[in-house]
Structure 1
Amino acid sequence: MKKDFFTYQAQTTPHPLAMEISHAEGSHIYDTNNKEYLDFVAGVSACSLGHRHPRVVNAIKDQLDQYLHVMVYGEFVQKSAVELTKLLAAQLPDPLEKTYLTNSGTEAIEGALKLAKRYTGRSELIAANHAYHGNTQGAMSVMGFEERKQAFRPLLPDVHFIEFNKEADIEKITTKTAGVILETIQGGAGFIVPTNNYLKKVKQRCEAVGALLILDEIQPGFGRTGKLFGFQHYDVVPDIVVMGKGMGGGMPVGAFTSSATLMDALQDQPKLGHITTFGGHPVIAAASLATLKEIVDSNLMTQTIAKEALFRELLQHEYIEEIRGKGLMLSLIVKNADIANQIILGCLEEGLILFWLLFEPKAVRITPPLTISNEEIKQGCAIIMKVLRKIKD
């Protein structure tokens, strides 16, 4: 199977891990040799309830017995999608009330950027250096990492960049700006959290000049930081919030939410301002609804803060310079990229899955399922410490 993988399936890097997967359950993944791996990555923050959570699997099976795709997005009333968007509205602060369901986070970013332009009548977009919002052309245009973009230019015009957490740059947001798009917590840059009321100050500037604040919650969202959405830690409400990854409990989904006033701008002039065939797919919506219900009905978000503290307590070593992030969105920042590589690959040999971040070579990703137990955290951290002790700087 591995030979066919390299022959027929397009690769994204020259050296993928190429683990042959047999099955997965809870916090564990098993390869075709039946080796067990403890998963500290959760499909890159996507499997928020672990693998094959019963509530999600049962919701999928129930929907399979009713209907699959029946019509392009937004034409027919489909129960799972309606219930999902209604529950989201109940969990979000005013005026975030109307949700557009998409197939992925990057598609939701595209929709959010279009909405900002359509509603304001402006063209300028402002994003952050070292930002990552997806890999489609619009999302790549607001990616703050030229090395990843240069081969695909020209991209969207009239995009400008500021430094995340640099207050002086906020003045670059002007009456020409349609939207400012920021990750609530910068992911690819190394899990950098906002400081000194930064997001609140950006929102105040946007309000002053008539620009819209778009917050990308694709990775922090759905309980990963200890609240349903990361921005809820920072006393700010975006004009548009974008979500994905952990929203689907392991199924492919994205969404962007705004006020009815803003969102209705996509209905007309022109009609079909943003369209998708499979967005809001009933099976995906059912899985997302089950995921959201489990997160808000349980004490997983409260546990996330305690689990963060446990990771920070257990992972102390001279090679670990700091642990960035919030909740179960954590990254070890180590002395250099070689040590990061040795940790990730060494832990894989020991049966623990870790991963890299996009733009910070010294980072080691730790984003386990929210359902991970304290005992599993201790087990995984023991493996990390074992590998660290073997590394010679």
Structure 2
Amino acid sequence: MNPIATKYIKLNTAIPGPRAQELLTRKEASVPRGPFTTAPTFVVKADGALLTDIDGNTFIDFAGAIGTMNAGHCPPQVVEALKQQVDQYIHTCFHVMMYEPYVQLAEKLNEITPGNHAKKTFFLNSGAEAVENAIKIARKYTGRKAVISFERGYHGRTLLAMSLTSKIKPYKYQFGPFAPEVYKMSYPYYYRTPEGMGPEQMDEYILQRFQDFFLGDVAPDDVAAVILEPVQGEGGFVVPSKRFVQGVKQICEQHGILLIADEVQTGFGRTGKMFAMEHFDVVPDLVVMSKSIAAGLPISAVTGRAEIMDSPNPGEIGGTYGGSPLGCVAALEVIKMMEEQNLPARGQQIGERTMQAFARFQHRFPQVGDIRGLGAMCALEIVKDKESKEPDKELTAQIVHACNRRGLVILSAGLYSNVIRILAPLVITDEQLEEGLAVLEGVLEELCL
């Protein structure tokens, strides 16, 4: 690989460097194997789309803390709001003594989420908690028990969320038994459509399968909710058609089933709109949010139709740290950034530039089988050859490994672990984006040609 001239990436040592190696030794002695780490080093400073590690190496961030940093690392207005909040109070627990930022953030999310109906919002700590509570609310409102999720879907690692999730390893293997009354439906994967079947036929086939599903697996009047990622995240950045998403909504309306949009990874400007469901002209009954809601502060939300959200009785939903004051003030500033800087539109621009580079990669490298994305949620699917489309998990891991050691933090995804995904902060500059893409292209040259 020919060296790439870098303006933002600065590598003073090999990765990991000596101080990172010392910490890795301590980490291995004190932290269990289970929490997986992609980049083998330790951050000491983060700014915008750049990360600096303990050995003074600076990286371009194409991972964004798995889609958490859409507003960038340490945005000054968020940092200032947090400092002011810490000086006032850190936590009282909303269930003990309430605080205004909780109400302000609920009002704002009621305003900006899809749909003009009356809404209400409450807060938790993580995406998985929000998913679990959305299911609880749907069951309470409908009086039904069954829930339908989709193949390749990812909804978290707690028991119910893990039951909704589709990938066995590493998420579910030997962690059962799982929650009952959870069913899986197909989700279109157009790159892997059966021979002779086009995208439209795939959509119609899956939507028709719902009818047989309701005959053979669970009656529709026993189904409380369908939970859907508008773009599958961990499943490989698989983008459905508008026809498919609208068809799922129609089935839900026909049978009195609630539609839950899991916008944990797709929300807050990532796909070129504030929420990905806006691309499909579908208004969900409940929206689940987390990740980029608060620039890295742990907070999640469930927003939904007011009559649905009011179905649990006082005390039936909540949590000690849910909607912490710090998370609420951070989220309010993030939303202000999104609106004032028009970051969703920036997400669309990032996506266009990225997909132009990906089209070049697909033409140059036989192992780049498919390119896809929505807004700044972009992916390459790595295969052994374009004819067989056989997934190449090993090459994908090598690409991630090589990028990380060349100063580009990047992640894989997909049911077959063969997808390279881009989740760069939406504040990344054009120069930083191009430099990161050049590093990725250089790694593909070395490993694929």
TM-score bracket, normalised by the shorter chain, equals: over 0.9
Is residue 363 of structure 1 aligned with residue 419 of structure 2?
yes
Structure-to-structure mapping, 1:1-393, within 5 angstroms: 1-12=23-34, 17-71=39-93, 73-92=94-113, 93-95=115-117, 97-147=119-169, 148-165=171-188, 166-171=206-211, 172=213, 174-266=220-312, 268=313, 271-315=314-358, 316-317=360-361, 318=365, 319-335=367-383, 336-357=392-413, 359-392=415-448
The 3-state SS of whatever aligns with 2:187 is coil
Q: Which amino acid aligns with 2:280?
A: Y
Q: Which amino acid aligns with 2:48?
A: G
The 3-state SS of whatever aligns with 1:65 is helix
Using the size of structure 2 for normalisation, the TM-score is 0.83
Percent of paired sites with the same residue: 32
Given that 2:260 and 2:284 are in contact with CA atoms closer than 8 Å, whether structure 1 keeps it comes out as: yes
Moved more, 146-155 or 322-331: 146-155
Given that 1:95 and 1:258 are in contact with CA atoms closer than 8 Å, whether structure 2 keeps it comes out as: no
Quote how far apart the aligned CAs of 1:59 are.
Answer: 1.1
Moved more, 20-29 or 93-102: 93-102
What do the CA deviations read for 1:40-90 (whole angstroms, capped 9, x no partner)?
Answer: 11100001111111011111111111111112x345331211111111111
| CA distance in structure 2 between the aligned counterparts of 1:370 and 1:7, rounded to whole angstroms | 36
**Count, aligned residues:** 389
Given that 1:137 and 1:155 are in contact with CA atoms closer than 8 Å, whether structure 2 keeps it comes out as: yes
Given that 1:96 and 1:239 are in contact with CA atoms closer than 8 Å, whether structure 2 keeps it comes out as: no
Moved more, 216-225 or 333-342: 333-342
Structure number, greater radius of gyration: 2
Q: Which amino acid aligns with 1:31?
A: D
Using the size of structure 1 for normalisation, the TM-score is 0.95
The 3-state SS of whatever aligns with 1:387 is helix
**Mind listing any 5+ residue stretches in structure 1 that lack a counterpart?**
none
**Mind listing any 5+ residue stretches in structure 2 that lack a counterpart?**
1-22, 189-205, 215-219, 384-391
Q: Which amino acid aligns with 1:151?
A: Q
| CA distance in structure 1 between the aligned counterparts of 2:163 and 2:148, rounded to whole angstroms | 10
Quote how far apart the aligned CAs of 1:14 are.
Answer: 6.8
| CA distance in structure 2 between the aligned counterparts of 1:264 and 1:15, rounded to whole angstroms | 40
The 3-state SS of whatever aligns with 2:208 is helix
Moved more, 118-127 or 137-146: 137-146
| CA distance in structure 1 between the aligned counterparts of 2:106 and 2:123, rounded to whole angstroms | 8
1:345 to 1:108, Cα distance in 2 relative to 1, 3 A: same
Quote how far apart the aligned CAs of 1:169 are.
Answer: 2.8
Moved more, 347-356 or 147-156: 147-156
Given that 2:123 and 2:318 are in contact with CA atoms closer than 8 Å, whether structure 1 keeps it comes out as: no
Quote how far apart the aligned CAs of 1:248 are.
Answer: 1.2
What do the CA deviations read for 1:280-311 (whole angstroms, capped 9, x no partner)?
Answer: 10011111111111102222111211211111
Q: Which amino acid aligns with 1:333?
A: E
| CA distance in structure 2 between the aligned counterparts of 1:119 and 1:344, rounded to whole angstroms | 44
| CA distance in structure 1 between the aligned counterparts of 2:396 and 2:118, rounded to whole angstroms | 39
The 3-state SS of whatever aligns with 1:184 is coil
| CA-based RMSD | 1.6
The 3-state SS of whatever aligns with 1:175 is helix
